[in-house]
C-alpha cells in the first residue's frame, strides 16, 4: 500500500520523519517531499499486520456478543449511544460569562484610546523631599513650597511638577478605563436607577460581606457590572 502524505497532518508527517531519522523543519510541502524521497521502511508490512489484528479482534468481539445473546454492542469507549456520561460532564463544566461592556460611540472610543496613549507618556509626580523621608514617598502629590525649593524653581534634576497641561481629554474625564461611568453605592437599593449601558458600580469600602452579596445578586439581575467585585466565601450565618 502507498501512503498518501497529502491527507496527513503536519504533526503526523513530523512523527514519520522522526521515526526515519529525518529533519522535521520546513513547510508541509517540504515534509511531503522529504518523505517521498526517503526509502520506505517496512511501512506496508506494518499496515497489513495492523489491519489483520483489528479484523481478528472485531470478529472475536462479535462472536462473544452473539454467544451472550446481546442485541446491541456498545462502542469502543464503553458508553451507550445516548452518551449520558458526556451530557453530565458538560453540565458540570463552569460557564465563562463575559463582563459587560459599555455602549460607546466612535468619538468616545477614540477619546478613550487617545487618553490611554497619553497616560503612557505621563511623568511620575513625586512629592518634595520624597527621596529623603520614607513617609513622603508613600503620600500623593503636594505643591512644593519654600523660597529656595528646587522643585518649585523647576530645576531639571528634580521631579516634574503637576501642571494644567497634563490633563487628559475633557470629554472622557472621570470615566473608567473600560468607558463606564463609575457610580459609588453602599446598598442594593441604589442599583435600581442605574443604566447598565453606560454606568458601572463601585461598592464602597465600608460595605460588609452580607450586603455585598445582596449587591452582587441584584447587579447580576439588572445586568450591571461591578468594577471592584470580589469572591466572598460564605461562612457562618452567611450560608
State which residues form the domain around 13.
5-66
Instruction: Give the number of domains in the chain.
Output: 3
For 195-223, letters b (16+ CB in 10 Å) and e give: ebeebbbbbeeeeeeeebeebbebbeeee
Based on the domain organization, do 167 and 110 belong to the same domain?
A: yes
Closest CA to 36 of 11, 16, 10: 16
Q: Evaluate if pTM is beyond 0.75.
A: no
Dihedral-angle region of residue 126 (phi above 0 means left; psi in -120 to 50 means alpha; beta otherwise): beta
Helix (H, G, I), strand (E, B) or coil at 35: helix
Q: Is residue 87 part of a domain?
A: no
**pLDDT in tens for each of the 239 residues of the chain?**
456 777 788 888 888 888 888 887 777 788 888 888 776 554 444 444 444 444 444 554 455 545 445 444 444 544 444 444 444 444 444 444 557 888 888 898 899 888 888 888 888 888 888 888 888 888 888 889 999 998 888 888 888 888 887 888 888 888 898 899 999 999 999 999 999 999 999 999 999 999 999 999 999 999 999 999 988 887 776 66
**Model pLDDT, residue 190:** 94
Based on the domain organization, do 158 and 192 belong to the same domain?
A: no
Instruction: Say how far apart CA 98 and CA 102 lie, in whole Å.
Output: 13
Based on the domain organization, do 150 and 178 belong to the same domain?
A: no
**Model pLDDT, residue 224:** 92
**Model pLDDT, residue 60:** 43
Based on the domain organization, do 138 and 181 belong to the same domain?
A: no
Based on the domain organization, do 110 and 163 belong to the same domain?
A: yes
By DSSP bridging, strand 199-203 and strand 181-185 are parallel
Closest CA to 201 of 210, 112, 214: 214
Q: Is residue 89 part of a domain?
A: no
**Model pLDDT, residue 3:** 67
**Model pLDDT, residue 40:** 55
Instruction: Say how far apart CA 181 and CA 173 lie, in whole Å.
Output: 10
Instruction: Say how far apart CA 136 and CA 151 lie, in whole Å.
Output: 15
Closest CA to 200 of 215, 208, 209, 93: 215
Based on the domain organization, do 162 and 110 belong to the same domain?
A: yes
Element (H, E) at 202: strand 199-203
**Torsion, Cα of 148, 154, 155, 161 (10° steps):** 110
Secondary-structure percent of the chain, ordered helix, strand, coil, rounded to 5: 45, 5, 50
Phi, psi of 145 (to 5 degrees): -125, 165
Q: Is residue 76 part of a domain?
A: no
Amino acid at each position: 500500500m502507498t501512503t498518501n502524505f497529502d491527507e496527513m497532518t503536519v504533526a503526523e508527517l513530523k512523527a514519520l520523519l522522526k521515526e526515519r531519522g529525518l529533519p522535521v523543519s520546513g513547510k508541509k510541502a517540504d515534509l511531503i517531499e522529504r518523505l517521498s524521497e526517503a526509502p520506505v521502511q517496512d511501512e506496508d508490512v506494518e499496515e497489513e499486520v495492523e489491519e489483520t489484528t483489528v479484523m481478528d479482534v472485531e470478529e472475536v468481539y462479535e462472536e462473544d456478543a452473539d454467544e451472550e445473546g446481546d442485541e446491541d454492542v456498545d462502542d469502543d469507549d464503553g458508553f451507550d449511544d445516548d452518551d449520558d456520561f458526556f451530557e453530565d460532564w458538560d453540565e458540570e463544566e463552569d460557564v465563562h460569562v463575559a463582563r459587560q461592556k459599555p455602549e460607546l460611540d466612535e468619538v468616545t472610543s477614540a477619546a478613550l484610546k487617545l487618553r490611554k496613549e497619553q497616560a503612557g507618556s505621563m511623568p511620575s509626580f513625586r512629592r518634595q523631599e520624597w527621596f529623603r523621608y520614607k513617609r513622603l514617598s508613600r503620600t500623593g502629590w503636594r505643591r512644593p513650597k519654600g523660597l529656595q525649593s528646587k522643585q518649585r524653581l523647576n530645576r531639571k534634576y528634580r521631579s516634574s511638577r503637576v501642571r494644567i497641561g497634563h490633563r487628559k481629554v475633557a470629554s472622557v474625564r472621570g470615566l473608567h478605563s473600560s468607558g463606564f461611568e463609575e457610580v459609588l453605592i453602599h446598598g442594593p437599593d441604589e442599583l435600581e436607577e442605574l443604566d447598565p449601558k453606560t454606568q458601572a458600580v463601585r461598592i464602597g469600602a465600608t460595605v460588609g460581606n452580607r450586603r455585598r452579596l445582596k449587591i452582587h445578586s441584584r447587579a447580576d439581575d439588572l445586568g450591571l457590572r461591578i468594577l471592584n467585585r470580589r469572591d466572598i466565601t460564605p461562612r457562618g450565618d452567611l450560608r
